Amino acid sequence: MSQPRDSGDAEPNEAEQSNEYTFEDVSVVMGTYNEEQAIGKVLTDVEDVTDGKAEVVCVDGSSDRTPEIAREHGARVIEQEPQGYGVAVREAILAPDRPVVVTTDCDDTYPMEQLPEFLDLINRGYDVVSGDRLYHGAEAMPDFNRLGNRAFALLASVLMGTRVHDTTTGMRAYRRDVVESIRWTENTGLSAELLIRPLMRGYDVREHPIEYRERAGETKLDPIEGGAAITKSIVKVCLEEQFR
Ligand SMILES: Nc1nc2c(ncn2[C@@H]2O[C@H](COP(=O)(O)OP(=O)(O)OP(=O)(O)O)[C@@H](O)[C@H]2O)c(=O)[nH]1
Ligand SMILES: [Mg+2]
């Protein structure tokens, strides 16, 4: 049984929730693209914290040993030509049969040790739990990215009329029915879309502070091109949701 850590929040759907999910109900999914420096650590962390119970799905476009290492750790590997973050992550979130889907990056930036907190919050009734890297300051993030991420959150907040703090985080937990009930359209901007559409459709979304570590291996994102694509996605998705 998970223990609620605070009592002040309204807890949606809790009464309807008779059975609590365990890590046997969780799939941890990620896009993987030449992440051989990080993948062993990421998958070991997932195994350790979930006692080997969570399923892992990697949608992989690598030309290095990433998929072999993933299979050695018991992950399900779906091969896909590299076409960008969102194309991989969309396939990854739609692959599992388990009722709770958690996304992460395969670069050791996200704290797998906080997975139990994400599961607790889903068990408390939230539909989406979104890791907020900026809450603790995200000192490991390059300055330019930190500034950009704050700007994206501000832009999305203004357009949605709801304050959000980190729209581009890669670590979230979703009830699978949320993921399956929405048509996802964005690529580099998918992370923002995965927060904005559920929020604007009235799902119970909660941001949750997370630690953020320095990346192992090379980034797959060009900050200028990626930043422009994310800005465009935020505006497009917010307008589409407003007028749907
Ligand atoms: N399969 C696949 N995975 C991808 C692709 N592009 C990125 N990824 C993966 O998606 C995740 C996010 O990419 P990152 O390079 O970490 O992007 P980011 O988090 O915006 O940038 P950093 O702040 O540098 O980590 C990583 O696990 C990548 O390996 C792709 O085209 N195909
Ligand atoms: Mg990353």
Q: What is the pLDDT of residues 169-205, one digit of tens each?
A: 999 999 999 999 999 999 999 999 999 999 999 999 9
**How far apart, in Å, are the Cα atoms of 110 and each of 35, 38, 55, 116, 169?**
14, 11, 17, 13, 9
Max CA pair span of the chain: 49
Task: Supply the pLDDT for residue 19.
Answer: 84
Task: Supply the pLDDT for residue 130.
Answer: 98
| Lowest mean pLDDT segment, chosen from 18-22, 166-170, 236-240 | 18-22
Task: Supply the pLDDT for residue 13.
Answer: 60
Residues within 6 Å of ligand 1 by CB: 30-33, 35, 59-61, 80, 82-85, 88, 105-107, 109, 145, 170, 215, 219-221
Ion ligand 2, residues whose Cβ is below 5 A away = 105, 107
Question: Going along 12-118, which residue ranges are E strands?
Answer: 26-32, 55-60, 76-79, 100-103
CA of 201 to the centre of ligand 2 (A): 27
What is the chain's mean pLDDT, rounded? 94
Residue 211 has pLDDT above 70, yes or no: yes
pTM of the model as a whole: 0.93
Residue closest via CA to ligand 1's atom 12 equals 105
Span 51-70, average pLDDT: 98
Domains along the sequence of the chain with CATH: 24-242 (3.90.550.10)
What is the per-residue pLDDT across 7-28, written as a single tens digit (0 to 9) for each? 345 566 654 556 899 999 999 9
